[in-house]
Chain A
Amino acid sequence: MKEIEELLFPDDVHYAETHEWARDEEETVVVGIGDYAQDQLGDIVFVELPEIGDTFEKGDQFGTLESVKAVSEIYMPVAGKITAINEALSEEPELVNLEPYNRGWMIEIEPDDPDEIHTLMSGTEYMEMLKGAE
C-alpha cells in the first residue's frame, strides 16, 4: 500500500467521506472511487453497478466492489438518477485500480440538485481528512 503522499487526489473532482469522487460535467455528475480507496481495497475483481434509470438519495448504496480481500459498498456522493454506467468494468475491473479517475469511472448521474456537488470536499480537504484518520 502507498503512503498518503504518494496517492493522487486531482482537484477537478470532489470527494465524499466514504471515498467516492464526483466530477461536475455540467448536466451530469460522473462518479468513481478515489486513489486511496482503490489502494486500500487492493486488486478489484468484480464491480456491481445499478441499472440505468435507478434513482438514489445521497449516501445510498449504489453498488458493490469485490477485491481479493473483501466486498465493499459504494455510496452515492449526490442524489440523482443513473444515466450511464461504465460497462467496461464488467470485463476489466482492474481499470478501477489502474485509472481510478478516468477509465475506472463507475456511474453517471443526473443530479437532483446541481449544487449538491459543492457540499463535497476538495482534494486538499479530503487529504487532510485522511491524514486525520491515520
Chain B
Amino acid sequence: MLNPNLKLNSKIFDEDVEKKATREGFGKAIVSLGEKDQNVVVLTADLSESTRTEEFAQKFPDRFFECGVAEQNMAAIAAGLAIAGKVPFISSYATFSPGKNWETIRTTAVYNQANVKVAGHHSGIMTGPDGCTHQATEDIAITRCWPKMTVLVPCDSIESQKITTWAGEYKGPVYLRYSRDKSVVMTTEETPYDGKVQEFWISENPQVTIFATGHELYYGLLAAKELESAGIMVNVVNVASIKPLDEIGILELVNKTGAAISVEDHQVAGGLGGALAELFVAKKPIPMEFIGLQNTFAESGSPKDIIEKYGMGKTAIMEAVKKVITRK
C-alpha cells in the first residue's frame, strides 16, 4: 500500500491523475529563490524557454545572463560569479551541460567547491522524439563520480520545486536532473523532503526492495501494486539524492528483504544502480537486478514506446523482481 505517512497524491493510480514535467518545478523554484536572495543569478545557453528560465529572466533581467550556444563559457562564467559570492544556476540540456562542458565544471566549479548549480534538463528518454542526441542517459554517472558533488533527481514536479529550493539554499556545487515530458505527480505539497530515502510503497514482510529515482519511480509503484495482487510483496523506495547516498537508510531497508532492484531512466552503468551496487558489495552483498538502459543508446519515439521497447516499464520491473527472488 501507499505509505500514508508521506501524504502522497491520493489519485496516483487514477486515470485522470495530474501529470506535469519536473522542469516546471525548477522554473517556479528559481523565481522564488530570486525573490528571497539578491545573489541568485541564472544563466542559460540559448534554451531559456524549454528550460523554464523565462519567468526569472523577466522578473530579474539584471540577474539573468544569456550566453548563447556556448556551454563551456556559461559554466566558467558561473564559476566566476560563484567565487565572487553569487548563487548561479546554469540551465541547459544535460547532454550539453554537464555533458559537453564536463571538464569546465570539474575544474572551475567542483574542484573549487564553487557554489554553482548545474540544472541539467531533458534528461533520460523523456526527451523521446528528439532522439538519442538529446536524451541525457549518462549524466548521473559523470557527475556522481566527482568528489563532494551533490547529485539530485526529483521524482515529480512538486518534489522538483522542493529540491531546487533546497539546492539554492545549500552552499556548494549541485547537479540537478530534470525531464522534459510530463510525468505523474506522485507527491503533494505536504510530502516531506529531507534528502533521505522514502518508502512510497510499503508491505508487510516484503521480499524485495525496489529503489527508484526520477519519474521511473511511478513504474515501480505500478509494478508493486500488481505484484501484491499476485501475492508478491515488495517495498518501493524513492532515492532523490544519488549523492550523498542515504547509506544508513538504504541498508536498513535491504536488511528487511535481502534483495534489491534499481530503477532509473539512465544507463544502468554508473547511475543509481551502480551507486547502490557499490554500497551493497562493500556493506551487505545481496542479489540485485538493474532496470534502465542496458549498454545501449535509446532512439526516437514516444517516452511510453521507448520505455516499453527498452525494458524500463512495469512488466520489466515485475520480471526483475521475480528473478531476484530466485537468486536469494
Partners in one complex: no
